[in-house]
Amino acid sequence: MPQITHPSDVQTVLTTFETSPGTCQDLLDELRSAYADFISKQPGFISAGLHVNDAQTRIANYSQWRRREDFMEMLRSEEMRAHNRRFSELCRSFEPVMYDVAAVF
């Protein structure tokens, strides 16, 4: 389970997928499969969560990694590159962005 703390010694990655009601469930299925079969088994993976807005036009992904390098290594792998190509087919855009926790309330 994700734990948000400040200060934090983990790397946080937020990814927003811009999708449509017609492809939202397909994209969500692909993301679940990628996490279950590959991403969650990678070195440095801690946890992740998937969030869908009411209109089914956006999926937000929150993930935590031990180190920035762990996330980058996973992202550059051939298997993840194949997953990303599939994600691209099911959404208008997506962008993973690394963040530092600035505060927790």
pTM: 0.93
Task: Tell me whether residue 2 is in a domain.
Answer: no
Task: For residue 38, give its domain range.
Answer: 11-99
> Looking at the 3D structure of the chain, how many domains does it have?
1
Tell me the CATH number at 72. Answer: 3.30.70.100
> Could you read off the pLDDT of 62-104 as tens digits, one per residue?
999 999 999 999 999 999 999 999 999 999 999 999 999 999 9
Sequence-distant (6+) residues with CB within 8 A of 43 are 66, 70, 73, 74
Q: Can you give the pLDDT at residue 82?
A: 98
